[in-house]
Amino acid sequence: MKISRKLYSYYLIWPALLVYSVFFVVPAIIGLFYSFTDWRLDRVGLNFIGWDNFERIFTDKTLLLAIKNTLIFAVVTVIGKNLIGLALAVGLNMRLKSRNILRAIFYSPSILSVLVISIVFTPMLRSEGTINRIFESVGLDFLAQRWLTDPQIVIFTVAAISIWQHAGFQMAIYLAGLQSISKDYYEAATIDGAGAWRSFRSITLPLLLPALNINLMLTLIGGLKVFSEVFVLTGGGPGNASQVVGTIILRSFGEGSWGLGTAVNTLLFAAVTVIAIPLLIFMRRKEVSE
């Protein structure tokens, strides 16, 4: 009797594929179509206008600023979330009595609603808020800033809050990765006379690459798609200083420029794909086997 190598029929993929198509693939394709039209609130019909919407994106100062801010936010948060998340994970993988409670504490911000975080942080970040008071009380007056109202630093403030919130989540993924590394390697390394740094660099880091991979992907995609943090903390302000692509999409829809809004959305989708997929392939190649 021939044993089938297939455990389940591929037909089982249909329900999931159907849901995925109806709610993602089809809207994405329709969106692509609309982004080449002048679809607007106050027009009955719509016309095909070629690349006009995209041309407008790259000539509008506010939109360019939003793209710049999005890239700043993505880079800063990818670095911050991963460095801090990794440091926390390595620290809390050691034999500490309080490590379970500490893990819970560092993870907890990531389950809070961003709205709650905004309500907590906004008063603290005022000119006369807690954070500036602390700086002033220890004589570091020059560090006191208009955190959310200075156009030069506002996007970094929002990024910092996002790092604070999500570093614990990245930590959890790194911890899972760390715990799957066999202790034998470290023992062998210690016998060979390797120090802590050497062990980290030659054992931990290479074997942690799968976790690093996933974390980089998640933080990068999350960073490029940022919306809620900016929306609740600054609304894109002051003026347009902290606009990101996500808030610009909302603004375009609010102005009734639906075609332009979908074009920005399409561009974001394309950018995320173009950046994320090659990076994923590149990082996968670097992964090593135990």
Partner 1 sequence: MKQKTRKIAAGLLGGLVAVSLAACGGGNASPGASTAAGGGGGDTGSSSGGSGTTIELAISKSSQDSAFVQQDLLDAFEKETGIKVNLQLLPAEQTATVLQTKLAVDETPDIIQYNLASATTDLNLERNFEILDDEPWVSRLENKEVLSAYGHVYSFHVSQDTGMQGVVYNKDIFDELGLSIPNNFEEFLAVCEKIKAAGITPVFMPYKDNWAANVWPAAAFADYADKNEPDLFEKINSNQKKWSDVPAFADILQQQYEVYEKGYTNGDLLSDSYDMAVGKFLNKEVAMMFMGDWLIQNVAENDPNMRLGLFPIPYTQDAKLGASPLGGQLFIPKKAKHMAEAKKFLDYVARKDVAQPIVDKQKYVSIFSDVTTPELPEYKQEIVDNYITPKKTVLTVDAHMLVDRSELYRLLQDEFAGGLDAQGVLTAWDEKFAQLMKDKEVEGF
Cβ 151 to partner 1 shortest distance, Å:
5
Which one, 64 or 270, has the nearer CB to partner 1? 64
Applying CB under 8 A, the residues found at the interface with partner 1 are 38, 40-44, 122, 125-128, 146, 148-151, 173, 176-177, 180, 210-211, 213-214, 218, 235-241, 250-251, 253-258, 284, 287-290
Shortest CB 34 distance to partner 1, Å: 12
Q: Quick one: tokens of 285?
A: 């190649």
Helix-then-strand count for the chain, H and E: 15, 0
Least distance to partner 1 from the beta carbon of 173, Å? 7
CA dihedral for 105, 111, 114, 119, sign (positive or negative): negative
Cα dihedral 207, 208, 210, 213 in deg (nearest 10): -140
Our CB check for partner 1 shows the closer of 190 and 202 to be 202
Provide CB contacts within 8 A for 244, sequence distance 6+: 66, 69, 70, 73, 155, 226, 227, 230, 236
Up-side HSE of residue 29: CA atoms within 13 Å toward CB? Answer: 6
Cβ at position 193, least distance to partner 1 in Å: 27
Q: How far is the CB of 162 from partner 1 (least distance, A)?
A: 18
Q: Which is nearer to partner 1, 81 or 251 (CB)?
A: 251
One-letter-per-residue 3-state SS of 180-248: CCCHHHHHHHHHCCCCHHHHHHHHHHHHCHHHHHHHHHHHHHHHHCCCHHHHHHCCCCCCCCCCCHHHH
Distance of CA 30 to the CA centre of its chain: 26
Contact 58, 263 (CB under 8 A): no
Q: Which CB, 95 or 128, lies closer to partner 1? A: 128
Nearest to 267 by CA among 97, 117, 53: 53
Minimal distance, residue 40 CB to partner 1, in Å? 6
CB of 4 to partner 1, least distance (A): 23
Residue closer to partner 1, measured from CB, 1 or 288 = 288
CA of 75: how far to CAs of 69, 80, 128, 156, in Å? 10, 8, 30, 11
Q: Which is nearer to partner 1, 123 or 195 (CB)?
A: 123
CA 116 to chain centre: 19
Closer Cβ to partner 1, 109 or 238, answer by number: 238
To partner 1, the closest distance from the beta carbon of 52 in angstroms equals: 11
Residue placing its CB nearer to partner 1 in the complex, 61 or 97? 61
